[in-house]
Structure formats: structure tokens, C-alpha cells
Amino acid sequence: MTMKPNDRPSPEGMLADDSPIDRIDEDLVAYLDGELEPQQRMELEARLGREPSLRARLRKLQAGWEMLGQLPEVPTNPKLLETTIRMAAIESTGSLQRFEQQRPAWWKTRSGMVSIASLVAFSIAVLGAKVWEEVRFRRELRLLPIAMRLDGYLHASDLVWMRELAKLPQWRETTTIAQRLGEWDFRLPEKIEGEPSSGRAALLRDLPLEDQQAVIEAWQRFEQLAPPQREAVLNSASEVVTQPDREELLATMERYARWRETLPPDLRDQINAAATPQRLELVATALKTSVTQWTQQSSRLLSDQDVETIYKSLHQIAERRVKTMEELAPNVTESVTRVFATIEPRTEAFFLRQLFRTPDQNGSGGVPRFDFLAPALSQLAPLLNQIRGPLTEDELYVIESVLGEPVTGTLAAVADIGTLREDLLRSWAEESMRRMSWNRSGTTLNERYLLLDPARRDQLDLLPPSEIIQSLRAEDGRRRSFP
């Protein structure tokens, strides 16, 4: 019987390229990495005491482990990095052998991640290709939490400053607001760090695709760091892990790094260059601006139905305010109500925006600009000015009472934070009036579509969605002109 080249037995201490990793090699690598459970470690150490061949295998793995830390850094292939992360899912499903049979040719040079010539020779002669890959992969899994918190280690490594920042009341309130409004989400890095490195392969397998992609991108950023930067990041991580307040430090570092990216570059430079007292003042001022921006941006939560619901409530609130003029001018109230009920929708939206603003928001000396778009109301401006002003607490409750999920959930989440609930409702009211002011016909795109002649709808149905929206907006422009 003739033996084929691929059928030759491997020399002692080697693995064939298509052979699976022995379970004992996995345990030995995990033992060197300190990842075995206490009971598993005791059992393995008992075997090492009984079996000379197992001790010899451990010494070879130990030699490779030590050499791994001495090898020079070289640039890595982003595609290789992506496959390294994807390999976690493959290993966890037990289909690694099938993957090895289907893998591309360049994967067989994976040990060339460090050195194409010397490492391949070394890994085959001493460890075996797959055991070497296992060693590398375990190292990557152990460093993955650092990669996921990279910005914090890069831009917030001053632990003294981080502790001072954490004491700032405005900082604590702002981080709570950001979390509840969904501006920041650190669940993925926290989930990865909370899992022992021995279980991270299975964790990666079960992540949604968008989270897997986030892990890949974080790992690529980490691998692409220049050697001095990577060393600084690793040193920072080593320092943080020894701190008694490690968890709070990490949370502050992550959130500060995320927040500083939203600041203008010149303000970031000012904060970095200032002494601690001035730095805290600059941060406190900038935090107020951030909360205002997040409050305004929260209007993205509003659906078209939410906008219409809020707008109808504002219309009712305006009618109630008009009725309060009956004691002052009973003959005028009916006239105002009639004009208010018949004015063009876009004009009505503009009128409401003026009605619910404070005098200093108008830029017109406190006089409502009702005459600009509604001449019929210009003579009534002095009376209307008496019912003009921001939405009251009772009026805000009227708006809140007609809203549904998920926006009511957001309001409930921030109900205990100062005036944030009221600020959100006022911002959403302003957004509803703005959208209706921009929407000249006072109808949604869907309503305009239903109002079209059936033949016209059939024509639109043949167009791509983006062109249908553009046509509906143009159709509205043809039906109405600016007031």
C-alpha cells in the first residue's frame, strides 16, 4: 500500500495542517493563559505530574508563548483581522474543521501575521499551525475589551482629571440624561469585558451582525495603532485595572471620550490646556449646550402620527386661550375664532409658533408678527399678545396625555431629572409646528397620496420610492402657493 504525501504521520510534537486541535492542547494553552477554572487546573496539574510526555508538550507551548511576546510588530491585513473575529463564531459552533477545508489560500499564512518566514517555520516545528493560531486568537480575545474602549484609553488617560470630573454634579446629571435619551450606549463593550476571555468566542458568535461589525471595526482600529500609541494604550489599561475605583474610572473615561468628540476642536483644545478649576468651568458650560442639543435632537423620535397628534393638541390649547378673552372683548372672540379656524394651514402653524413663544424669542420687540402672514389678525395683536406665552404645565400635560409609545417611555425615563420632561415636550411642540409650517398643505405625504386621482396614483406606483416622495412634494407645490 502506497502512502500519499498527505497521509504521512506528523513528526512528534507537530500537527498536520488539516488536523483538528487536540483538546489537551486547548487545555494547555488555557492553562498558560490562566483561564482554566480552579478544578480544571488541579486536574491538569495532576496529569502533568503523572505524564512526562504531557510535561514536554507544555514546555514546547511555553517556549512558543514566551517567544510570541518578543516578536516584532508588523502591519496586519484588515481582511485577516475580520476573519479572526469571525473565527470566534465558527469555533463556537464546532465547525472549525469544515472551515479549514474551505478557507482561502491566504488563511494558511495566518501565522504570518507576525512574520511570514520565521513564524510559519517556528509554529509548524514547535507548536503546529493550529495551536499557534489558538495562542494568537486567545491573545486577541484577551485584548478585545481594551480595543472596545480604545477612545477612553487614548483621550482620557489622566486618572486624576477623570476623578475630578466624576465629582462634578453637572457631569453626573449629563451622563444620566445621555444614557436615558439613548445618546450613549456602552452595553456592547461592557458585555464583552464582563465575559471571561474563555467565553468570548461563544459571545461573539451570538452577537447581532451589527454588533459583530462594531467589534471588527474596534479591533481594526486597535491593530492599526502605531507602536508607541499601542504601548500607551496598554500601559493605561494596566494602570486602570489596578485602581480600587476601576469600574467608575472606566465609565468616566468612556463617556468623556465619547462626549469630547461632539465638541468643536478649539473648545477641546481649551479644555485640554486649562488648569483643573478653569477646565471644570469650561466643561460645565459645554455640558449645558450638549443637553440642549440632545433635547432638540430627541424630536427624531417623533413619527408623523406623533407630530399630527401634538399639533392637534396645540390647536385645541390655542382655542382655549382665545376663549379666555371673552371677558375682555366678548364681541371680538367670535371673530378671532372664525379667522383662526379658516386661515391657511401653513399660516396657522406660523401663528401657533408665535402664540407659544416668549417675547424675547420673537426678535421684534415683543410684538407678535401676526400681521406678517395673517392681516386679518393684525388689528387683534394687542389682545392676542395678552394670551401669548410659553406652554404651561397644564398645557404640557394635555400634550403628554395623548401621546403613545415610545415617546411616553422617554418622558417617563427622564421625569426625575429637573425640568427635562417639560423641555422635551416644549421641544417636540416646536418641532411639530415647524414640520407643519414646512408642510404647506397641512397633510402628510401619505394623505396627499390618497387625495390623488387614481390614474395619477397608478403612475406614481411605477416610480422608485424616492421619486414618489419628490413627486408628492411637487404636487403639493402645484396645488398651493406660498401665502
**137-148 pLDDT, tens digit each:** 778 888 899 999
Query: Do residues 287 and 308 share a domain?
Result: no
Are 444 and 304 in contact by the 8 Å Cβ rule? The answer is yes
Say if residue 67 is in the same domain as residue 169.
no
**Is 235 inside any structural domain?**
no
Q: Residues 79-115, buried b or exposed e (16+ Cβ, 10 A)?
A: eebbbbbbbbbbbbeeebeebbeeeeeebeebbbbbe
Residue 366: per-residue pLDDT: 46
Q: Which domain holds residue 291?
A: 157-207+241-298
Are 163 and 293 members of one domain? yes
Confidence of residue 109 (pLDDT cuts 50, 70, 90): very low
pLDDT score, position 461: 78
pLDDT category, 85, cuts 50, 70, 90?
A: low
Q: Please give the pLDDT value at position 445.
A: 62
Q: Phi, psi (5° rounding) for residue 236?
A: -65, -45
Is 221 domain-assigned? no
Q: Give, rounded to a whole angstrom, the gap between the first and last alpha carbons of the chain.
A: 96
Dihedral sign (CA 264, 270, 275, 277): negative
In a shared domain, residues 384 and 449: no
Nearest CA among 284, 44, 331 for reference residue 174: 284
- Quote the CA–CA distance of 354 and 351 in Å, as a whole number: 5
Query: Are residues 447 and 482 located together in one domain of the fold?
Result: yes
| 103 and 176 together in one domain | no
pLDDT at 451 over 50: yes
In a domain, 232, yes or no: no
In this structure, are 199 and 276 located in the same domain?
A: yes
What local confidence, expressed as pLDDT, does residue 233 receive? Answer: 94
Evaluate whether residue 375 is within a structural domain.
yes
Same domain, 256 and 271: yes
Same domain as 469, residue 402 = no
Residues 66 and 127 in one domain: yes
Counting the structural domains of the chain, the total is 4
- Mark whether 310 and 431 lie in a shared domain: yes
101 part of a folded domain = yes
Minimum mean pLDDT among 146-150, 271-275, 436-440: which range? 436-440
Is residue 201 one of the residues assigned to a domain? yes
Q: Note whether residue 152 is domain-resident.
A: no
Looking at 120, 145, 170, the residue that finishes a domain is: 145
Does 448 lie in the same domain as 399? no
Domain-located, residue 413: yes
Residues 6+ apart with CB under 8 A from 55: 48
- For 24, 69, 118, 144, 173, the CA distances from 72, given in Å and listed in that order, are 29, 8, 11, 20, 46
**Rounded-to-integer distance, Cα 78 and Cα 380, Å:** 69
